[in-house]
Structure 1
Amino acid sequence: MTTSAKTDSGAIRCAIYTRKSTDEGLEQEFNTLDAQRESAEAYIASQRHEGWTCLPDRYDDGGFSGGNLERPALKRLMADIEAGGIDCVVVYKVDRLSRSLLDFSRLMEIFDRHGVSFVSVTQQFNTTHSMGRLTLNILLSFAQFEREIIAERTKDKMWAARRKGKWVGGMPVLGYDVAEGGGRLEVNEDEAARVRAIFQLYLELESLLPSAQELERRGWNNKRWVTRKGKERGGKPFNKSTLFRLLTNPIYTGKVVFQGTTYEGEHEAIVDMETWKRVQAILRRNRLNGGTLVRNKYGALLKGLIFCTPCGTGMTHSCAKRKNGKSYRYYVCQTAQQRGWAKCPTKSVNAYDIESAVVQHIKGLGTNPAVLSTTLTRATEQAEARLHELEMERKAAERELRRLHAQVRKLLGGTLPAGASEIATDRLADLQERIRTTEQRMTAIQEEIIVLGKTTVKEKDLTQALADFDEVWNSLSSKEQAKIIHLLVERVGFDGRDQSVTVTFRSEGLKQLCQRTAA
């Protein structure tokens, strides 16, 4: 039996505190919190001869962990203790009050300071005696130990699930939905098309900020989802940080990451490995140069564009001084530079020679029918691919509009419970704003489709532009030349085995070249 402080009238005012870690089952008419309170009330009734009385106020924390003190009912309980309205706190079990030894000690100090006793129905303790305190601390230590064991088991279970490629929770990502019952991701086709378009957009712009600005112009936001409690989360515009997280998330290649280790996932990939590797290479390069076109003092025209064909790695620009005092510029394969010359058949190439070869390749576009035809075909294919993306996005926007309008009709046609009108008004305003944004995006899509159709690269325009290019190239400064190269060229491949050079052009760059010539 517990020795308790009494009021002047001799009554011992008892407050019952109950807690459950999750909110599962709390909607039932008689739940675990009710069961805890019923046991505590019965115990208080058994001590009626000692003057014990049960206070009517309920201190129930449903869905709150005992690992901390951030619980609303507990805070009310402590406030009432501070106010002097409670003489004894009754719980069903010690760990209902706290599972943390440190937190429990703090609570006991407050109880002692206000002359409040503590009672556990299933573990009777006298907190005024040292032996009772020792017993409480021992039991609470075991409760904390049990909690840590559960946490370790949960972590081990998550690790095992990750190794098997399973989805173990967290914030959903754009492109996927969590399957019914959890544990597995399903591709959201509309969002997946948008994710692939975002990767392609970054390959075109090669910079996070312009890409994020273009996504905002298109009205594309990150993942929007609804929590189990019915609250909407996400759906915000992309910024550099959130776009970077999307572009570097291996989940889009069908993999999962846990504790820094990547595992094969059970879900379907959205982005192919070739696109993924190209995006990661640009991101790595931009981390070194800040995402801007950086040219060193030696005027490297192909910086960030040239790759070793046999190795598939980038080639970096370097400069050395010869004995005669003249500078020798060259591009060196990163594999050869980092792992030894014997590891790469290309090794290095004279910078002036490779840059001249690329420039001649550009000039030769207009005089080589085969190369010109191939370049125009690729530009047309890219334009058609973009048109397909826009059409898919337009259809997805139409479905989104139908869904939003259906929600508006449901909200306006339903009967609202008392006190819910303000919430409904906010929800309606949010739906109307999303409808407006979606309609604006559909208009922008249609405009882009029209512009794309009018700016198709034509053979005669490109031939004329390249003829003008040949005339003005030598009059350009090295800075202007570098800008032109990066405008037109997407990638340069060099193979040291046969000294071959391959140049991949940007369709958007060719369009801009034609437009500038026409102007």
Structure 2
Amino acid sequence: MKAAIYSRKSKFTGKGESIENQVQMCKDYAQNQLKDKNITEFLIYEDEGFSGGNTNRPEFQRLMEDAMIKKFDVLICYRLDRISRNVADFSSTLEILQKYDIDFVSIREQFDTSTPMGRAMMYVASVFAQLERETIAERVRDNMLELAKTGRWLGGVTPIGYKSNPVTYYDTEMNEKKMVKLTQVPEELKTVKLIYNKYLEFKSLSKVETYCLQNNIKTKRGSDFNKANIRLVLNNPVYVKATDEILEYLESKGITCCGIPDGEHGLLTYNKQKTIYGDNGKVVRVNRDTKEWIAAVSSQKGIIEASDWLKVQKILTENKDKVPNLGKTHNALLTGVLRCAKCGSTMQINHGHQSRKTGETIYYYACSMKKYSKSVRCNNKNAKVAELDLVVKNYLKKLAMNKKVLLAKLSEQNRKSKEFNNSMNREETLKKSIAEKEKQIENLINKLAIDDEISDLIINKIKSIKNEISELKKELVNIDTIKSQFNETEVNLSFISMLLDRCSIIDTLTDDEIKQLIYALIDKITWDGEKYEIEINFIGSNKENDEEYKKK
């Protein structure tokens, strides 16, 4: 009989029940308590650094796939919540195991689904475990909300103009406590003031964006400002010198305000977002209703006058209510894929002039950086939409005509990709071996300091280990060479083959169908207006075998 052991830990730490300890305890339990099952082989599945909030974990998914082909007869875990912290997920997992006649054993709670009572008690325990977790989480949230009302910084994304520093303090009972405090970054606050001043001057997010691009003004992380993050700066009350008028404005939006405004200190907001699980099982952050927000007077001094901050909010609201002038749309094929060869920015659609011959409007692909910086940061020449779209369509036709040759190249690339993946596994093993041998040398040196009578033996041993490390490092260098040559991603040949068949009838397809082909088959397209050249990179291309196409 084969047994699967599943272990999980949310964080990569050396504390608590480690992955290795969980596995060993499961093995010990099986050998001592499950002798009647005659287990002869263990299959190990380990997820480290993954939450139990959902089942979107690589090793857990592999475990379930193996369960569906009856690769093992019993699943053993250290504790129920290693499988899932969610009752619904746990229940569906148990149903799959029962469907394929696989027993489930949890050694901590000592439940065994091979008996009716064991199954019933397991469901009851999982329900109460979730209730306990949700109660604790609710209590923590309530405590955090109360702390937020005092104006303390509780963590999160630090706004531009500030940095967060951990500080230690003592409470009234002289117990050591830790908290995070915001401190001002003067240079960044100059940028914030500039953004507010320019918005009051231009009354337009686009114009402020252009100004920032032209003057190379960067965000906290060194990237370019765009309309979205400029709006975040302008909306953030952390910068305003809070007054009664500011609190009245926020309260009119449904926000709960705490503290006494003094016309000097700013406001910290809390509880603006919540975490949910998306349809794909990934964690996403979504905005809460403003009625759930909290704004509290902080210990940080504001830098924007209340009157100016309110003017900014008024302009933002007025501009938001305006209907944008979208003009006539054009179903260009390369939007989202085409990039500027000079600066790497996306290429957008620009409306050009009307043709004298046909009367039709001519559309152009234009670099977005060129557009928003008014040609200061980039001056790549525009490209006619019709011309570039035709080049790409002809390229796809050419791919279809050379289908056999292309699939043969991709098949060879897949073979090398497997070699690459094997090399990556070998790389981890080599690094561990090197670390272990370096530790051996360290121990031998320590021993040498204590006992010099066997110094010759120890020195020879150290030399021997150093030679072994040298050989291992040479192998690592070879792996680095392989990594620099190959793309680690394998491509689905049958899927590519089907798409290439579609390319052969591209003239009969709709624009939306052609777009789908482009997104599926082409990794990147770049336009160089100086050379009047388009470069197309086929998906899965690599440095050794770059399936690319240039056209002037």
TM-score by structure 2 length? 0.46
Comparing both chains, which one has the higher relative contact order based on Cα–Cα distances under 8 Å and sequence gaps of 6 or more? 1
Which structure carries more strand by proportion? 2
Structure showing greater radius of gyration is: 1
Which structure carries more helix by proportion? 1
